[in-house]
Amino acid sequence: MSKLIKGSRRQKESHCQSSRFLWLKKAFCLFSPIICGGAIGYLISEYGKEFVRPPLTPPDTVFYIVWTALYLIMGYSSLLVFCLSGCRLSCLGGYFSQLALNLCWPVSFFIFGHYRLSVLILAALILSLIATISDFLKISKKAARLNYPYLIWCFFALYLNIASALVN
pLDDT in tens, 74-102: 999 998 998 888 877 777 888 999 999 99
What integer pLDDT is reported at residue 108 of this predicted model?
Answer: 94
d(CA 61, CA 10): 43
| Mean pLDDT computed over 13-24 | 61
- What is the percentage of the chain residues whose pLDDT exceeds 70? 86
Does pLDDT of 139 surpass 80?
yes
| Mean pLDDT computed over 44-65 | 83
Confidence of residue 5 (pLDDT cuts 50, 70, 90): very low
Torsion angle defined by CA atoms of residues 121, 126, 128 and 130, in that order, rounded to the nearest 10 degrees = -170
* Mean pLDDT over the full length of the chain: 85
What integer pLDDT is reported at residue 19 of this predicted model?
Answer: 58
**What does the angle CA 72 – CA 74 – CA 76 come to, to the nearest 5 degrees?**
70
Confidence of residue 20 (pLDDT cuts 50, 70, 90): low
Q: Where are the domains of the chain?
A: 2-167
**What does the angle CA 92 – CA 96 – CA 100 come to, to the nearest 5 degrees?**
175
Give the count of alpha carbons within 13 A of 130, CB side only: 8
What integer pLDDT is reported at residue 44 of this predicted model?
Answer: 78
Prediction pTM value: 0.82
In contact, 129 and 20? CB cutoff 8 Å: no
Please name the CATH architecture into which domain 2-167 falls. Up-down Bundle (1.20)
Taking phi over 0 as left and psi of -120 to 50 as alpha, with beta for the rest, 88 belongs to beta
Which is higher by pLDDT, 21 or 77?
77
